[in-house]
Structure 1
Amino acid sequence: MTESDEDLVALPSLLSAYAGREASRHRLIWRLDQRFARLVATTTEPMIGQMRLAWWNDALTDESGVKGRGEPVIDALRELNVAPPAGLSQWLDGWEALIGETDLSAYAMGRGAGLFRALAGRDDIPGWLEQAAMVWALWDLSGHVEEVAVVDRAIAMARSHLLSGSVKWTKSWRPLRLAYQLAHHDIKRGRRAPPGLTPTLYMRLIRLACLGR
Protein backbone atom coordinates (compact mmCIF):
# COMPACT_ATOMS: atom_id res chain seq x y z
CA MET A 1 0.00 0.00 0.00
CA THR A 2 1.33 3.41 -0.90
CA GLU A 3 -0.97 5.44 1.30
CA SER A 4 -0.85 5.28 5.09
CA ASP A 5 -3.79 4.55 7.33
CA GLU A 6 -3.65 8.22 8.32
CA ASP A 7 -5.60 8.79 5.10
CA LEU A 8 -8.49 6.83 6.60
CA VAL A 9 -10.84 8.65 8.97
CA ALA A 10 -10.99 7.37 12.51
CA LEU A 11 -14.20 5.33 12.67
CA PRO A 12 -13.63 3.23 9.52
CA SER A 13 -10.07 2.65 10.69
CA LEU A 14 -11.32 1.31 14.02
CA LEU A 15 -14.02 -0.81 12.39
CA SER A 16 -11.41 -2.31 10.06
CA ALA A 17 -9.35 -3.38 13.05
CA TYR A 18 -12.13 -5.83 13.95
CA ALA A 19 -11.91 -7.56 10.56
CA GLY A 20 -9.04 -9.81 11.64
CA ARG A 21 -7.12 -11.18 8.66
CA GLU A 22 -9.32 -9.10 6.37
CA ALA A 23 -8.33 -5.81 8.02
CA SER A 24 -6.15 -4.64 5.12
CA ARG A 25 -8.91 -5.32 2.61
CA HIS A 26 -11.47 -3.54 4.78
CA ARG A 27 -9.24 -0.48 5.09
CA LEU A 28 -8.86 -0.35 1.33
CA ILE A 29 -12.63 -0.60 0.79
CA TRP A 30 -13.20 2.23 3.26
CA ARG A 31 -10.51 4.33 1.61
CA LEU A 32 -12.25 3.80 -1.73
CA ASP A 33 -15.54 4.88 -0.18
CA GLN A 34 -13.85 8.03 1.08
CA ARG A 35 -12.60 8.77 -2.43
CA PHE A 36 -16.16 8.52 -3.72
CA ALA A 37 -17.36 10.77 -0.88
CA ARG A 38 -14.78 13.44 -1.69
CA LEU A 39 -15.63 13.22 -5.38
CA VAL A 40 -19.31 13.86 -4.68
CA ALA A 41 -18.59 16.61 -2.14
CA THR A 42 -16.43 18.51 -4.64
CA THR A 43 -18.79 18.12 -7.60
CA THR A 44 -20.55 21.29 -8.74
CA GLU A 45 -21.73 20.07 -12.15
CA PRO A 46 -23.77 16.83 -12.11
CA MET A 47 -22.54 15.70 -15.52
CA ILE A 48 -18.91 16.11 -14.47
CA GLY A 49 -19.55 14.17 -11.30
CA GLN A 50 -21.19 11.35 -13.22
CA MET A 51 -18.23 11.23 -15.59
CA ARG A 52 -15.81 11.02 -12.68
CA LEU A 53 -17.75 8.16 -11.11
CA ALA A 54 -17.85 6.41 -14.50
CA TRP A 55 -14.06 6.71 -14.68
CA TRP A 56 -13.73 4.88 -11.36
CA ASN A 57 -16.03 2.14 -12.59
CA ASP A 58 -14.10 1.73 -15.85
CA ALA A 59 -10.74 1.73 -14.07
CA LEU A 60 -11.75 -0.76 -11.38
CA THR A 61 -13.36 -3.15 -13.86
CA ASP A 62 -10.57 -2.98 -16.44
CA GLU A 63 -9.37 -6.57 -16.81
CA SER A 64 -6.16 -5.44 -18.48
CA GLY A 65 -5.12 -3.57 -15.34
CA VAL A 66 -4.07 -0.56 -17.40
CA LYS A 67 -6.79 1.96 -16.60
CA GLY A 68 -6.26 3.67 -13.29
CA ARG A 69 -2.67 2.47 -12.95
CA GLY A 70 -0.80 4.79 -10.61
CA GLU A 71 -3.92 5.60 -8.59
CA PRO A 72 -2.87 4.39 -5.10
CA VAL A 73 -6.18 2.86 -4.01
CA ILE A 74 -6.70 1.07 -7.32
CA ASP A 75 -3.13 -0.24 -7.34
CA ALA A 76 -3.55 -1.51 -3.77
CA LEU A 77 -6.85 -3.22 -4.57
CA ARG A 78 -5.23 -4.95 -7.53
CA GLU A 79 -2.37 -6.12 -5.35
CA LEU A 80 -4.91 -7.86 -3.11
CA ASN A 81 -6.83 -9.19 -6.13
CA VAL A 82 -10.03 -7.48 -5.04
CA ALA A 83 -10.56 -5.21 -8.04
CA PRO A 84 -13.33 -4.77 -8.83
CA PRO A 85 -14.79 -5.08 -5.33
CA ALA A 86 -18.15 -6.78 -4.88
CA GLY A 87 -21.13 -4.47 -5.20
CA LEU A 88 -19.17 -1.81 -7.10
CA SER A 89 -21.87 -0.80 -9.59
CA GLN A 90 -24.52 -0.51 -6.88
CA TRP A 91 -22.10 1.37 -4.64
CA LEU A 92 -21.33 3.94 -7.34
CA ASP A 93 -25.02 4.32 -8.17
CA GLY A 94 -25.63 5.19 -4.54
CA TRP A 95 -23.08 7.97 -4.54
CA GLU A 96 -24.44 9.25 -7.84
CA ALA A 97 -27.85 9.60 -6.16
CA LEU A 98 -26.39 12.51 -4.15
CA ILE A 99 -25.29 14.40 -7.25
CA GLY A 100 -27.85 16.98 -8.28
CA GLU A 101 -31.26 16.32 -6.75
CA THR A 102 -30.77 14.05 -3.74
CA ASP A 103 -32.50 10.66 -3.85
CA LEU A 104 -32.13 9.31 -0.31
CA SER A 105 -33.69 5.93 -1.05
CA ALA A 106 -31.39 5.27 -4.01
CA TYR A 107 -28.44 6.54 -2.00
CA ALA A 108 -29.18 4.29 0.98
CA MET A 109 -29.66 1.14 -1.08
CA GLY A 110 -26.77 1.96 -3.38
CA ARG A 111 -24.05 3.23 -1.14
CA GLY A 112 -25.13 1.24 1.91
CA ALA A 113 -25.74 -2.17 0.37
CA GLY A 114 -22.98 -1.73 -2.20
CA LEU A 115 -20.43 -0.86 0.47
CA PHE A 116 -21.51 -3.70 2.76
CA ARG A 117 -21.23 -6.12 -0.18
CA ALA A 118 -17.71 -4.85 -0.82
CA LEU A 119 -16.79 -5.22 2.85
CA ALA A 120 -18.34 -8.69 3.01
CA GLY A 121 -16.46 -9.57 -0.17
CA ARG A 122 -19.50 -11.14 -1.81
CA ASP A 123 -22.54 -10.12 -3.83
CA ASP A 124 -24.94 -12.65 -2.30
CA ILE A 125 -25.75 -11.02 1.03
CA PRO A 126 -29.11 -11.56 2.77
CA GLY A 127 -31.88 -8.99 2.61
CA TRP A 128 -31.59 -8.12 6.29
CA LEU A 129 -27.94 -7.17 5.80
CA GLU A 130 -28.93 -4.85 2.96
CA GLN A 131 -31.47 -3.32 5.35
CA ALA A 132 -28.81 -2.85 8.02
CA ALA A 133 -26.54 -1.28 5.41
CA MET A 134 -29.21 1.25 4.50
CA VAL A 135 -29.61 2.24 8.14
CA TRP A 136 -25.88 2.78 8.48
CA ALA A 137 -25.59 4.78 5.25
CA LEU A 138 -28.44 7.12 6.20
CA TRP A 139 -27.04 7.56 9.70
CA ASP A 140 -23.61 8.36 8.31
CA LEU A 141 -25.04 10.87 5.86
CA SER A 142 -26.94 12.63 8.64
CA GLY A 143 -23.63 13.57 10.23
CA HIS A 144 -22.22 15.14 7.08
CA VAL A 145 -24.99 17.34 5.67
CA GLU A 146 -26.07 20.78 6.83
CA GLU A 147 -29.64 20.82 5.52
CA VAL A 148 -31.91 20.10 8.48
CA ALA A 149 -34.67 18.80 6.20
CA VAL A 150 -32.31 16.23 4.65
CA VAL A 151 -31.10 15.15 8.09
CA ASP A 152 -34.66 14.69 9.32
CA ARG A 153 -35.62 12.69 6.23
CA ALA A 154 -32.52 10.51 6.52
CA ILE A 155 -33.20 9.72 10.18
CA ALA A 156 -36.88 8.99 9.53
CA MET A 157 -36.02 6.70 6.61
CA ALA A 158 -33.32 4.92 8.61
CA ARG A 159 -35.76 4.34 11.47
CA SER A 160 -38.15 2.63 9.06
CA HIS A 161 -35.41 0.16 8.13
CA LEU A 162 -34.22 -0.79 11.63
CA LEU A 163 -33.98 -4.55 11.97
CA SER A 164 -36.70 -6.28 13.96
CA GLY A 165 -36.13 -9.63 15.62
CA SER A 166 -32.85 -11.49 15.83
CA VAL A 167 -30.47 -12.05 12.94
CA LYS A 168 -27.33 -14.12 12.67
CA TRP A 169 -24.20 -12.03 12.20
CA THR A 170 -21.33 -14.24 11.11
CA LYS A 171 -17.93 -13.71 12.70
CA SER A 172 -16.54 -12.29 9.46
CA TRP A 173 -19.28 -9.64 9.50
CA ARG A 174 -18.28 -8.30 12.90
CA PRO A 175 -17.23 -4.86 11.57
CA LEU A 176 -20.57 -4.59 9.75
CA ARG A 177 -22.46 -5.51 12.90
CA LEU A 178 -20.61 -2.87 14.89
CA ALA A 179 -21.27 -0.23 12.22
CA TYR A 180 -24.98 -1.06 12.23
CA GLN A 181 -25.24 -1.09 16.01
CA LEU A 182 -23.60 2.34 16.30
CA ALA A 183 -26.15 3.67 13.81
CA HIS A 184 -29.05 1.86 15.50
CA HIS A 185 -28.30 3.51 18.83
CA ASP A 186 -28.67 7.03 17.44
CA ILE A 187 -31.42 6.39 14.90
CA LYS A 188 -33.66 4.74 17.49
CA ARG A 189 -33.36 7.93 19.54
CA GLY A 190 -33.90 10.22 16.57
CA ARG A 191 -30.36 11.55 16.71
CA ARG A 192 -28.06 12.33 13.81
CA ALA A 193 -24.57 10.89 13.59
CA PRO A 194 -21.72 12.91 15.07
CA PRO A 195 -19.51 14.58 12.45
CA GLY A 196 -16.51 12.56 13.58
CA LEU A 197 -15.29 10.06 16.16
CA THR A 198 -16.31 11.57 19.49
CA PRO A 199 -15.20 10.10 22.85
CA THR A 200 -18.79 8.95 23.42
CA LEU A 201 -18.93 7.15 20.07
CA TYR A 202 -15.53 5.60 20.69
CA MET A 203 -16.58 4.23 24.09
CA ARG A 204 -19.83 2.90 22.61
CA LEU A 205 -17.85 1.05 19.95
CA ILE A 206 -15.52 -0.47 22.53
CA ARG A 207 -18.49 -1.57 24.65
CA LEU A 208 -20.24 -3.17 21.70
CA ALA A 209 -17.06 -4.94 20.63
CA CYS A 210 -16.41 -6.27 24.13
CA LEU A 211 -19.96 -7.37 24.84
CA GLY A 212 -20.55 -8.78 21.41
CA ARG A 213 -23.99 -7.19 21.20
Structure 2
Amino acid sequence: MTATAASVAARPAALPAAPLTVPPAAPPTAPPEHRDPAESARVTVTALERPQPARSARLVLEPLAVRHAEEMAEVLGDPALHSFIGGAPLGPAELRARYVRLVAGSPDPSVVWLNWVLRLRPEDRLVGTVQATVTDGGRTAEVAWVIGTPWQGRGFAREAAEGLVGLLLGRGVRTVVAHVHPDHTASAAGAAGLTPTDLVEDGETRWERRAPAG
Protein backbone atom coordinates (compact mmCIF):
# COMPACT_ATOMS: atom_id res chain seq x y z
CA MET A 1 0.00 0.00 0.00
CA THR A 2 1.32 3.45 -0.86
CA ALA A 3 1.49 6.04 1.90
CA THR A 4 -1.07 8.79 1.49
CA ALA A 5 -1.06 12.38 2.70
CA ALA A 6 -4.53 12.01 4.19
CA SER A 7 -2.98 10.22 7.14
CA VAL A 8 -0.15 12.64 7.89
CA ALA A 9 -0.17 16.27 8.88
CA ALA A 10 1.74 19.14 10.42
CA ARG A 11 5.29 18.19 9.60
CA PRO A 12 5.21 15.70 11.54
CA ALA A 13 -11.04 8.47 5.39
CA ALA A 14 -14.43 8.69 6.25
CA LEU A 15 -15.63 7.35 9.59
CA PRO A 16 -16.68 9.85 12.27
CA ALA A 17 -14.92 9.36 15.58
CA ALA A 18 -16.62 8.91 18.91
CA PRO A 19 -15.57 11.43 21.58
CA LEU A 20 -12.46 10.55 23.54
CA THR A 21 -12.95 9.29 27.08
CA VAL A 22 -10.43 11.10 29.27
CA PRO A 23 -9.83 11.48 33.01
CA PRO A 24 -11.15 14.75 34.51
CA ALA A 25 -8.76 17.68 34.46
CA ALA A 26 -7.14 18.69 37.71
CA PRO A 27 -8.38 22.01 39.14
CA PRO A 28 -6.21 24.98 38.12
CA THR A 29 -3.52 26.09 40.55
CA ALA A 30 -3.21 29.81 41.15
CA PRO A 31 0.42 30.97 40.84
CA PRO A 32 1.83 32.79 43.86
CA GLU A 33 2.51 36.50 43.47
CA HIS A 34 6.30 36.29 43.38
CA ARG A 35 6.77 33.22 41.18
CA ASP A 36 9.32 33.28 38.37
CA PRO A 37 7.51 34.10 35.04
CA ALA A 38 8.74 30.92 33.35
CA GLU A 39 7.51 28.84 36.28
CA SER A 40 4.16 30.61 36.21
CA ALA A 41 3.74 29.76 32.53
CA ARG A 42 4.17 26.10 33.39
CA VAL A 43 1.63 26.29 36.21
CA THR A 44 -1.07 27.45 33.78
CA VAL A 45 -0.76 24.20 31.80
CA THR A 46 -0.97 21.83 34.78
CA ALA A 47 -3.76 19.86 33.10
CA LEU A 48 -1.50 19.30 30.09
CA GLU A 49 1.75 18.71 31.95
CA ARG A 50 1.86 15.04 30.93
CA PRO A 51 -0.12 13.19 28.27
CA GLN A 52 -2.89 11.11 29.80
CA PRO A 53 -4.42 7.97 28.29
CA ALA A 54 -7.64 8.41 26.33
CA ARG A 55 -9.73 6.38 23.91
CA SER A 56 -12.01 6.84 20.93
CA ALA A 57 -14.25 4.39 19.08
CA ARG A 58 -11.38 2.20 17.85
CA LEU A 59 -8.19 3.75 19.21
CA VAL A 60 -6.44 4.09 22.53
CA LEU A 61 -4.12 7.06 22.93
CA GLU A 62 -1.29 5.72 25.09
CA PRO A 63 1.24 8.21 26.47
CA LEU A 64 4.50 7.68 24.61
CA ALA A 65 7.02 5.46 26.41
CA VAL A 66 10.51 4.36 25.47
CA ARG A 67 9.30 0.75 25.33
CA HIS A 68 7.17 1.65 22.29
CA ALA A 69 10.25 2.21 20.12
CA GLU A 70 10.63 -1.30 18.74
CA GLU A 71 7.03 -1.63 17.57
CA MET A 72 6.88 1.96 16.30
CA ALA A 73 10.02 1.41 14.21
CA GLU A 74 7.96 -1.11 12.27
CA VAL A 75 4.88 1.14 12.09
CA LEU A 76 6.92 4.05 10.70
CA GLY A 77 9.25 1.91 8.62
CA ASP A 78 7.85 2.62 5.13
CA PRO A 79 10.23 5.04 3.32
CA ALA A 80 7.27 6.39 1.32
CA LEU A 81 5.69 7.62 4.55
CA HIS A 82 8.67 9.90 5.15
CA SER A 83 8.14 11.73 1.88
CA PHE A 84 5.33 13.45 3.81
CA ILE A 85 6.76 13.73 7.32
CA GLY A 86 10.43 14.25 6.41
CA GLY A 87 13.58 12.39 7.34
CA ALA A 88 14.05 8.66 6.92
CA PRO A 89 12.87 5.58 8.83
CA LEU A 90 14.67 5.08 12.14
CA GLY A 91 15.69 1.74 13.53
CA PRO A 92 14.60 0.64 17.03
CA ALA A 93 17.79 1.90 18.72
CA GLU A 94 17.59 5.33 17.04
CA LEU A 95 13.90 5.64 17.79
CA ARG A 96 14.50 4.60 21.38
CA ALA A 97 17.03 7.42 21.78
CA ARG A 98 14.55 9.87 20.27
CA TYR A 99 11.78 8.70 22.60
CA VAL A 100 14.05 9.12 25.62
CA ARG A 101 14.34 12.81 24.72
CA LEU A 102 10.64 13.23 24.02
CA VAL A 103 9.55 11.52 27.24
CA ALA A 104 11.97 13.70 29.23
CA GLY A 105 10.07 16.75 27.98
CA SER A 106 10.98 20.11 26.58
CA PRO A 107 14.04 21.83 28.08
CA ASP A 108 12.11 25.10 27.76
CA PRO A 109 9.82 25.45 30.82
CA SER A 110 7.30 27.48 28.77
CA VAL A 111 6.85 24.65 26.23
CA VAL A 112 5.13 21.32 26.89
CA TRP A 113 5.59 18.31 24.61
CA LEU A 114 2.69 15.85 24.55
CA ASN A 115 3.14 12.61 22.64
CA TRP A 116 0.92 9.57 22.31
CA VAL A 117 1.03 6.34 20.34
CA LEU A 118 -2.19 5.08 18.79
CA ARG A 119 -3.21 1.53 19.67
CA LEU A 120 -5.88 -0.11 17.52
CA ARG A 121 -8.05 -1.82 20.09
CA PRO A 122 -9.53 -4.65 17.97
CA GLU A 123 -6.04 -5.79 16.92
CA ASP A 124 -4.14 -4.67 20.04
CA ARG A 125 -1.32 -3.16 18.04
CA LEU A 126 0.20 0.27 17.42
CA VAL A 127 -0.74 2.03 14.18
CA GLY A 128 0.57 5.60 14.51
CA THR A 129 1.23 8.63 16.69
CA VAL A 130 -0.26 11.98 17.61
CA GLN A 131 1.54 14.89 19.19
CA ALA A 132 0.97 18.40 20.48
CA THR A 133 3.41 21.16 21.34
CA VAL A 134 1.76 23.47 23.85
CA THR A 135 2.95 27.08 24.19
CA ASP A 136 1.68 30.53 25.10
CA GLY A 137 0.93 29.59 28.69
CA GLY A 138 -1.19 26.62 27.65
CA ARG A 139 -3.32 28.62 25.22
CA THR A 140 -1.87 27.39 21.90
CA ALA A 141 -1.09 23.87 20.67
CA GLU A 142 0.47 22.80 17.39
CA VAL A 143 -0.59 19.28 16.51
CA ALA A 144 0.50 16.50 14.19
CA TRP A 145 -0.54 12.93 13.49
CA VAL A 146 0.97 10.06 11.51
CA ILE A 147 -0.65 6.74 10.60
CA GLY A 148 1.52 3.85 9.43
CA THR A 149 1.08 2.90 5.77
CA PRO A 150 -0.64 -0.49 6.30
CA TRP A 151 -3.44 1.15 8.34
CA GLN A 152 -4.15 4.15 6.13
CA GLY A 153 -7.45 4.61 4.34
CA ARG A 154 -9.52 3.37 7.30
CA GLY A 155 -10.34 6.71 8.92
CA PHE A 156 -7.80 6.45 11.74
CA ALA A 157 -6.18 9.82 10.99
CA ARG A 158 -9.55 11.54 11.15
CA GLU A 159 -10.51 9.73 14.36
CA ALA A 160 -7.17 10.50 16.00
CA ALA A 161 -7.17 14.17 14.93
CA GLU A 162 -10.73 14.76 16.13
CA GLY A 163 -9.99 13.14 19.45
CA LEU A 164 -6.71 14.98 19.98
CA VAL A 165 -8.16 18.39 19.20
CA GLY A 166 -11.18 17.76 21.41
CA LEU A 167 -8.92 16.68 24.28
CA LEU A 168 -6.78 19.83 23.99
CA LEU A 169 -9.75 22.20 23.82
CA GLY A 170 -11.25 20.41 26.81
CA ARG A 171 -8.07 21.08 28.79
CA GLY A 172 -8.04 24.84 28.20
CA VAL A 173 -6.20 25.27 24.89
CA ARG A 174 -7.70 28.20 22.98
CA THR A 175 -6.03 27.82 19.57
CA VAL A 176 -5.07 24.57 17.83
CA VAL A 177 -2.71 24.82 14.84
CA ALA A 178 -1.57 22.35 12.19
CA HIS A 179 0.64 22.92 9.15
CA VAL A 180 -0.40 21.00 6.05
CA HIS A 181 1.38 20.90 2.70
CA PRO A 182 -0.91 22.19 -0.06
CA ASP A 183 -0.42 18.97 -2.02
CA HIS A 184 -1.69 16.92 0.92
CA THR A 185 -5.24 15.86 1.52
CA ALA A 186 -6.37 17.71 4.63
CA SER A 187 -9.52 15.74 5.46
CA ALA A 188 -8.33 14.89 8.98
CA ALA A 189 -7.59 18.54 9.80
CA GLY A 190 -10.99 19.57 8.46
CA ALA A 191 -12.77 16.84 10.38
CA ALA A 192 -11.10 18.10 13.56
CA GLY A 193 -12.65 21.52 12.94
CA LEU A 194 -9.51 23.26 11.69
CA THR A 195 -9.80 25.64 8.75
CA PRO A 196 -7.05 26.86 6.40
CA THR A 197 -5.67 30.37 6.76
CA ASP A 198 -3.80 32.55 4.29
CA LEU A 199 -0.54 32.00 6.17
CA VAL A 200 2.10 29.78 4.57
CA GLU A 201 5.17 28.70 6.55
CA ASP A 202 7.95 26.69 4.91
CA GLY A 203 5.62 25.88 2.02
CA GLU A 204 2.86 24.58 4.31
CA THR A 205 -0.54 26.12 4.93
CA ARG A 206 -1.42 27.01 8.49
CA TRP A 207 -4.75 25.54 9.63
CA GLU A 208 -6.40 26.73 12.84
CA ARG A 209 -9.26 26.10 15.19
CA ARG A 210 -10.06 28.65 17.87
CA ALA A 211 -12.16 27.94 20.93
CA PRO A 212 -15.35 30.01 21.16
CA ALA A 213 -14.94 33.28 23.06
CA GLY A 214 -16.07 33.15 26.63
Q: TM-score, normalised by structure 1?
A: 0.30
Structure number with higher strand proportion:
2
Q: TM-score, normalised by structure 2?
A: 0.29
Q: Highest relative contact order (Cα 8 Å, sep 6+), 1 or 2?
A: 2
